[in-house]
Amino acid sequence: MSDLQALQDQAVAAYESATTLDELDAAQQRFAGKRGELTAVQRTLGQLPEDRRREVGAAVNAVRARLTEVESQRRAELEAERDRVVLAAEAIDVTLPPRVPRRGTLHPVQETMEAMLDILVGLGYTVNEGPEVETDWFNFDALNTPPDHPARGLQDTIYVHPFDARDEPEPDRTTGLLLRSQTSPMQLRTMLSQQPPLYVAIPGRVFRADTMDATHLPMFHQIEGLAIDTDLSFADLKGSLVVAARALLGPDVELRFRPHFFPFTEPSAELDARFEGRWMELLGAGMVHPNVLTAGGLDPEQYRGFAWGMGVDRMAMLRHGINDLRLLVENDLRFLSSL
């Protein structure tokens, strides 16, 4: 009995002196575990006379109950202390100034796109995006593009469901699905849904059946501009494009307009910028063709307009001094982090 009392005193002291849950677990296993000292005493009860066995057995149970009580109390104290320490470590002081982490940067194409849209919004344009899967009617027919135009061939345009004149002799706005080859279809969608005056910027991805090289990609980005009012002229078109290009590329950038042909504008022109000693095409532009105005439900005798489409990727090349379009889509972090 004296040995049991000594064991209890020793165990209680070990429990109460434990400073961590691991130390408490070790003490519990030592004194009250399956192979602990109290269990070893309990296993000797069978060797005692019956009357003695009952007395010692009751004493063993009393010691075990006492150790369980002390161990539970100490465990609650240690768990409370642990939780207090964890909460203190994870606490957020909302009165401290913010810790701003090092952020990434916009992709050069996205950065250029947003810069271009900011300029156009400042000129009074609103932003309007359109679907990437278009129909023959919006992508070609309504834009005054004849059926035999080379741009409508499989070598240039990526079709999802080609229009077949043998099955559908009268094309409408729902036949001939394709991946849009330009953002120009939104000119028609805008004219059909809104009334002039219209000053709209249309950003988005476009798709061509091009082979990837330093100056071509099968998927690239454009921003389409459309202005329709009662008194617009080619001088308004040139002035708007010069202001936008110089705001993007700098006031000293060398620009030139060249006569060109587009089915949906007349007259038409292309705008070039001088880059590393050579001229690079930036965009095509022109006065909206009367047939396009008619397809959009507007009277060409009452309204005039101009439109242009600018390649965002090539503009990004000029802004960031990039000489190979493929760098914009290869996702090389060494290149992107150097900008």
| Furthest-apart CA atoms within the chain: distance in Å | 123
* Strand ranges, E, within 181-317: 198-207, 219-229, 255-262, 265-275, 278-288, 304-311
Sheet holding 126-127, edge to edge: 126-127, 198-207, 219-229, 304-311, 278-288, 265-275, 255-262
- Asked if 19 and 81 count as a contact pair (C-beta separation under 8 A), the reply is no
Res 169: pLDDT: 47
pLDDT, average across residues 47-74: 82
- What's the CA gap between 5 and 74, in Å, rounded? 20
What mean pLDDT comes out for the span 43-53? 76
Q: List the CATH code of the domain at 108-336.
A: 3.30.930.10
pLDDT at 39: 78
Section 221-249 average pLDDT: 92
Q: What is the mean predicted confidence (pLDDT) over 157-179?
A: 65
What is the rounded CA–CA span in Å between residue 157 and residue 185? 14
- Parse the chain into domains and list their residue ranges: 2-90, 108-336
**Per-residue pLDDT averaged across 232-245, rounded?**
92
258-312: pLDDT as tens digits: 999 999 999 999 999 888 788 888 899 999 999 999 999 999 999 999 999 988 9
DSSP of 150-182: GGGSTTT--EEE---TTT-SS--TTSSEEE-SS
| Structural contact between residues 11 and 38, judged by C-beta atoms closer than 8 angstroms | yes
pLDDT bracket for residue 165 (50, 70, 90):
very low
Residue with tokens 């454009």: 222
DSSP-based three-state secondary structure for 95: coil
Reported pTM: 0.63
Q: How far apart are CA 312 and CA 152, in angstroms?
A: 23
At 251, list the tokens: 């006031």
Looking at mean pLDDT, say which of 23-37, 50-64, 266-280, 289-303 comes out highest. 289-303
The predicted pLDDT at position 172 comes to: 53
Contact 16, 70 (CB under 8 A): yes
279 CB-near residues (< 8 Å, 6+ apart):
256, 272, 273
What stretch of H or E contains 134?
Answer: strand 133-135
Q: Read off the pLDDT of residues 105-133 as tens digits, 9 standing for 90 and up.
A: 788 899 999 999 999 999 899 999 989 99
Instruction: Report CA torsion sign: 138, 143, 145, 150.
Output: negative
Q: Which residue, 261, 252, 270, is CA-closest to 314? A: 270
Residue 166: the pLDDT is 43
pLDDT band of 101, cuts 50, 70, 90 = low
Q: Which long-range contacts (CB under 8 A, 24 or more apart) does 256-260 make?
A: 260/284, 260/286
Residue that wins the pLDDT comparison between 293 and 102:
293
Question: Regarding predicted confidence, which is higher, 62 or 226?
Answer: 226
Looking at the DSSP bridge assignments, the partners of residue 280 are: 273
The more confidently predicted of residues 174 and 25 is 25
Contact 120, 223 (CB under 8 A): yes
At residue 35, the pLDDT reads 81
